[in-house]
Amino acid sequence: MKKAIVAMSGGVDSSVAALFMKEQGYECIGATMKLYDNEDIGVDREKTCCSLDDIEDARSVAYKLGMPYYVFNFKDEFEKKVIDKFISTYEAGGTPNPCIDCNRYLKFEKLMKRMEELQYDCVVTGHYADIEYVNGRYMLKKGKDLSKDQSYVLYSLSQYQLEHTVFPLGKYSKEKIREVAEKNGFINAKKRDSQDICFVPDGDYSKFIEQYKGKTYPCGDFVDKQGNVLGKHNGLIRYTIGQRKGLNIALGHPVYVISKDIESNTVVLGSNEDLNKKSLTARDFNWIAQKPDDKISCFAKTRYNMREVPCVAYCDGDRVVVEFNEPVRAITPGQAVVLYDGDYVLGGGTIE
């Protein structure tokens, strides 16, 4: 009998993923990753995922399914690989995507190591994505429910990880998953999806960073493209590329953050048109498909919730250059660019 570790967050998706694996005859254990103490991030325990409530919900479902259930303490790794990187990316002028790092370093690195230690066969998650074996390679595919598709945050998976991962929800809609949960009497059938970054549940990134680091970030100048001073900003970490709201500056016409300069501690403002760019360079690129020798035509996403746009991509040393057919708005350093061919993920990397 094959054995699976099911990553259980306490939410409805991972709970139904566990049910589906049991129905397929797998011997399963449920595992919740303990990633931080709520006191460390300055929030009440009820307000965030990975709380005691979530652990109890996951335990309840595991008990109902007759599965052993464990909580694995990965706090040190989460702090080092996710929180510290989140802060350092903001400090360097970028805008991070910590969910990608959490998938990469926790779910599919630490949890897979635990899978190997226990001599289990696979790690199972409730992601809306799919895996297919095509022409000798494991390929990551979009989930059938495109409104929930999570392939964008999974681009870093290696061939080994794809071989030992199962996404049971890939062929289902969210509505169907809730139906299944309700039919099986799961305590979390109607539980709402968490929208925020788990360790910043109120969405105030700058407040979190200042609390966590115990420091404040200096004010500086808003400037235009020519370097003329337009006003004062409240610290670089409070701004991201494309931002219009919350600038607290009145110039008689709309302005947007178009870049940030760490050395001069300035935020450059410009027009909406100034945000349009025709190319980007990405580092730490992971090819899921075979690495191309030449230029390829494909589609790209530079943010999780944007539509894909046509482009040409090619390798330039250890970087990947993406050139868009039409200008793309608010390309942001620190975010991910992910390349697609139809439903298949070709690969992805971090925008420089």
Residue 309: give its domain's CATH number. 2.40.30.10
Residue 8 labeled ligand binder: yes
Q: What is the pLDDT of residue 39?
A: 57
Which one of the listed residues 50, 198, 298, 311 is annotated catalytic? 198
Please state, in angstroms and rounded to a whole number, the distance separating the CA atoms of residues 299 and 328: 12
Residue range 214-219: average pLDDT?
95
User: Closest by alpha carbon to 172, among 196, 145, 209?
Assistant: 145
Same-domain pairing of 170 and 233: no
Tell me, yes or no, whether 116 and 45 share the same domain: yes
pLDDT per position as a tens digit, 20-33: 999 999 999 999 99
Is 219 considered catalytic here? no
Question: Strand 276-287 and strand 344-351: pairing?
Answer: antiparallel
Q: Given a cut of 50, is residue 285 above it in pLDDT?
A: yes
> 163 and 96 share a domain?
yes
> Could you tell me the two tokens for 64?
């109902």
> For residue 139, what is the DSSP state?
E
At 95 the pLDDT is: 94
> Is residue 287 included in any domain, yes or no?
yes
Average pLDDT in the 267-283 region? 97
What confidence tier does 38 reach under pLDDT thresholds 50, 70, 90? low
Is 227 assigned a ligand-binding role in the annotation?
no
The CATH number of residue 110's host domain is 3.40.50.620
Q: Does residue 229 carry a pLDDT above 60?
A: yes
Contact between residue 218 and residue 263 where contact means Cβ atoms under 8 Å apart: no
52 versus 100: the higher-pLDDT residue is 100
In a domain, 38, yes or no: yes
Q: Reading across the β-sheet that carries 122-124, which strands appear in turn?
A: 69-73, 27-34, 3-7, 122-124, 165-166
Q: Identify the pLDDT of residue 42.
A: 53
Over residues 232-247, the mean pLDDT reads 95
pLDDT tens string 132-172:
999 999 999 999 999 999 999 999 999 999 999 999 999 99
Task: Give the per-residue pLDDT at 197.
Answer: 85
Identify whether residues 116 and 221 lie together within a single domain.
Answer: no
196: in domain: no
Looking at 50, 102, 298, 311, which residue is catalytic?
102
More confident residue, 51 or 330: 330
* pLDDT of res. 203: 86
The pLDDT of residue 53: 80
Asked if residue 85 belongs to a domain, the reply is yes
User: In percent, how much of the chain has pLDDT > 70?
Assistant: 95
Q: How many domains is the chain built from?
A: 3
Q: How far apart are CA 67 and CA 129, in angstroms?
A: 24
For residues 47 and 83, membership in a common domain is answered with: yes
Residues 6 or more apart from 260 whose CB is under 8 A from it? 93, 236, 239, 241, 266, 267, 268
9 is in an annotated binding site: yes
Q: Say yes or no: 42 and 179 in one domain.
A: yes
Give 47's pLDDT tier (boundaries 50, 70, 90): very low
Pick the residue with more confidence: 53 or 279? 279
Do the domain assignments include residue 282?
yes
* pLDDT of 325 higher than 70: yes
**pLDDT tens digits for range 54-93:** 899 999 999 999 999 999 999 999 999 999 999 999 999 9
Q: Is the pLDDT of residue 303 over 80?
A: yes
**Final residue of a structural domain among 271, 304, 338:** 271
Q: Is the pLDDT of residue 41 over 60?
A: no
Query: Known binder of ligand: residue 7?
Result: yes
CB 268 within 8 A of CB 259: yes
| Residue 254 Cα distances to 152, 246, 249, 269, angstroms | 31, 12, 10, 10
Residue ranges making up the domain that contains 252: 217-271
Biggest CA–CA distance in the chain, Å, is 69
In angstroms, the CA 316 to CA 92 distance is 24
Listed in order, strand segments (DSSP E) in the chain are: 3-7, 27-34, 69-73, 122-124, 129-134, 137-142, 165-166, 220-223, 229-233, 256-261, 266-270, 276-287, 296-301, 309-316, 319-329, 336-341, 344-351
Question: Which whole number is the average pLDDT over 95-104?
Answer: 94
Strand partners, 328: 277
Distance CA 263, CA 261 (A): 6
Contact between residue 332 and residue 240 where contact means Cβ atoms under 8 Å apart: yes
Ligand-binding annotation for 33, yes or no, is yes
How far is Cα 313 from Cα 321, in angstroms, rounded to an integer?
6
126 annotated as ligand-binding: yes
Model confidence at 2, pLDDT cuts 50, 70, 90, reads very high
CA–CA distance from 286 to each of 19, 32, 171, 233, 302 (Å)? 32, 27, 25, 36, 15
**With the C-alpha atoms ordered 144, 334, 314, 306, is the resulting torsion angle positive or negative?**
positive
**Active-site annotation holds for 298:** no
Q: How far is CA 256 from CA 259, 307, 329, in A?
A: 9, 21, 11
Q: Do residues 232 and 99 share a domain?
A: no
CATH code for the domain in which residue 252 is found = 2.30.30.280
Query: Do residue 13 and residue 146 come from a single domain?
Result: yes
- 100 shares its domain with 18: yes
Q: Clarify whether residues 144 and 259 are in a common domain.
A: no
